[in-house]
Amino acid sequence: MSLSFPVKLPAAAATISLGREIGLIAKAGEVIALVGDLGAGKTTLTQGIVEGLGYEQEVTSPTFSLVQEYLGGRLEVFHFDFYRVEEEHELLDLGWDDYLDRQGLVIVEWPTLHSDLLPKHTRWLKLSHIEGGRLVESR
């Protein structure tokens, strides 16, 4: 990913736009970890990423389903939410390793809850509220 961070985003539309840029340059096998408080824009950024990969369907938070799959675009996207996952075996039982092996794009919200499952090459993006919008930083 060759975008320059940090990025200040004045509105949700700018978050979608940044996501589109990320989607356009995303590569097979990448993992993106999205860190941020509730309402920081993690799902909104994901909507833009999925859109940048050519998907036209609705993108929703996988909080209750744990994973949403978006198939049929330039890359398959596997959108995880670790928020409600209590034990790592829940993710392993769901097929976490299989998703990583499929060489799509894996996006994880609340990754710090089970960060030891993430590969070393994971791209970490932190979203935070700032006066006048949001800030996205790469770490």
Q: pLDDT digits over 116-138, tens only?
A: 999 999 999 999 999 989 999 99
2 domain residue, yes or no? no
Does some domain include residue 1? no
Q: Show the tokens assigned to 12.
A: 């949700």
Q: How many domains does one find in the chain?
A: 1
**Residue 64 included in any domain:** yes
> Residue 92 is part of which domain span?
7-138
CATH of the domain at 120: 3.40.50.300
- What Å distances lie between residue 114 and 6, 43, 70, 84, 108, CA to CA? 25, 18, 22, 11, 10
Residue 2: what pLDDT? 63
Q: List the one residue out of 44, 85, 40 whose CA is nearest residue 61.
A: 44
- E strand or H helix that includes residue 39: none
| Residue 113 pLDDT level (bands cut at 50, 70, 90) | very high
Model-level pTM greater than 0.95? no
